[in-house]
């Protein structure tokens, strides 16, 4: 892989996992840096009970980049629906928790699981300890907890992490410095993407990195996070938290969403993210617009192979 172009991609949640499934088919060297701010569900329980970083987002990324038999991946992703205290836990989360105990820290657990799952590329937690995500809302109230923030229902002014001193995994710094392309998203703006960038040294390294920086804009707005946000609003929020403009390219969807899909999402107060080429260009952004979505059982997803192909094209420029 020494002669392959290097991609560093930041995010968490479903969006990142979907993209990585297509990107791993390309001849590129991938490193995924994954948020550790999750505090809900199985991840939150393990985080609180065992005092380890939440494994859920990392588990999904490991599964997405794995090169194993489908049954092994299904086993890793299996979520218990019976069994008392086991209910709600995924087997992969439990394995990562056990491996953390065996190896002594979360980063080494992820490294060892990457070998077991024959991961194409690398998966790095944004930090080797748990962090707590907080949001200051427009009305001045502070809401704590990644899973709690979207439920408040008010516009977010800013998000921040505690503790204030958070050290990234040292390998992350090397990855950012050596990257040919730095990708943000897709994923929840305030609860999946920004928690990575708010780790102080990661923020500084991204700002100083010579690599082209690409933001893959969400296709739909998210209630409790980005209600009524345009693509430009997403970029403004990123710039605000990073201290100024830093993104070179934005990838947006220009395909009309079918009426039945729009209606389904409208019931959840979500709508297609609108974009204005002039507004984005005025922000100094190269705008790539294309039909980049697929539909699975009425759910909108980024077209993993199409987006991966567009990203590889950027590396050829």
Distance from C-alpha of 127 to C-alpha of 33, rounded to nearest angstrom: 9
Distance from C-alpha of 289 to C-alpha of 8, rounded to nearest angstrom: 22
Helix (H, G, I), strand (E, B) or coil at 84: helix
- Which tens digit of pLDDT belongs to each residue from 294-305? 998 889 999 999
- Which tens digit of pLDDT belongs to each residue from 59-117? 999 999 999 999 999 999 999 999 889 999 999 999 999 999 999 999 999 999 999 99
Q: What is the pLDDT of residue 194?
A: 97
Q: What is the pLDDT of residue 59?
A: 97
- Mean pLDDT for the stretch of residues 177-189: 96
Q: How far is CA 132 from CA 93, 138, 163, 195, in A?
A: 19, 20, 7, 9
Tell me the average pLDDT of the chain.
95
- Three-class SS string for 263-290? HHHHCCCCCECCCCHHHHHHCCCEEEEE
Split at pLDDT 50, 70, 90, the class of 2 is low
- Mean pLDDT for the stretch of residues 237-256: 97
Better pLDDT: 179 or 154: 179
Q: What is the pLDDT of residue 1?
A: 55
CATH numbers and ranges of domains, the chain: 6-38+124-314 (3.40.50.10680)
Q: What is the pLDDT of residue 288?
A: 98
Split at pLDDT 50, 70, 90, the class of 3 is confident
- Mean pLDDT for the stretch of residues 286-297: 95
Tell me the two tokens of residue 315. 């590396």
Distance from C-alpha of 64 to C-alpha of 139, rounded to nearest angstrom: 39
Q: Report the 10 Å Cβ neighbour count for 299.
A: 11
- Mean pLDDT for the stretch of residues 145-149: 94
- Which tens digit of pLDDT belongs to each residue from 184-236? 989 999 999 999 999 999 999 999 999 999 999 999 999 999 999 999 999 99
Split at pLDDT 50, 70, 90, the class of 130 is confident
- Which tens digit of pLDDT belongs to each residue from 10-45? 998 889 999 999 999 999 999 999 999 999 899 999
């Amino acid at each position: 892989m020494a002669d392959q172009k290097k991609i560093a991609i930041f995010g968490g949640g479903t969006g990142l996992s979907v993209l990585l499934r297509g990107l791993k088919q390309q001849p590129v060297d991938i490193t995924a840096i994954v948020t550790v701010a999750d505090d809900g569900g199985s991840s939150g329980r393990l985080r609180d009970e065992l005092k380890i970083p939440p494994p859920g987002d990392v588990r999904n990324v490991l599964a997405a980049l794995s090169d194993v038999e489908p049954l092994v991946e299904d086993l890793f992703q299996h979520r218990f629906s019976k069994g008392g205290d086991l209910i709600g836990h995924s087997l992969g989360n439990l394995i990562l928790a056990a491996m953390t105990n065996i190896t002594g820290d979360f980063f080494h657990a992820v490294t060892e699981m990457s070998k077991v799952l024959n991961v194409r590329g690398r998966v790095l937690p944004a930090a080797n300890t748990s962090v707590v995500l907080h949001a200051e809302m427009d009305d001045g109230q502070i809401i704590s907890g990644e899973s709690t923030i979207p439920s408040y229902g008010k516009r977010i002014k800013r998000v921040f992490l505690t503790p204030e001193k958070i050290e990234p995994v040292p390998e992350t710094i090397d990855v950012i410095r050596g990257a040919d392309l730095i990708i943000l998203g897709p994923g929840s703006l305030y609860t999946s993407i920004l928690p990575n960038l708010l780790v102080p040294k990661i923020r500084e390294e991204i700002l100083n990195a010579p690599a082209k920086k690409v933001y893959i804009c969400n296709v739909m707005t998210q209630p409790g996070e980005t209600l009524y946000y345009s693509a430009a609003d997403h970029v403004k929020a990123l710039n605000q938290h990073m201290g100024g403009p830093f993104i070179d390219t934005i990838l947006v969807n220009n395909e009309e969403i079918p009426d039945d899909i729009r209606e389904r999402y409208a019931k959840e107060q979500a709508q297609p993210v609108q974009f204005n080429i002039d507004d984005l260009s005025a922000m100094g952004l190269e705008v790539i617009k294309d039909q980049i979505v697929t539909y699975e059982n009425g759910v909108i997803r980024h077209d993993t192979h199409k987006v991966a192909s567009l990203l590889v094209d950027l590396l050829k420029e």
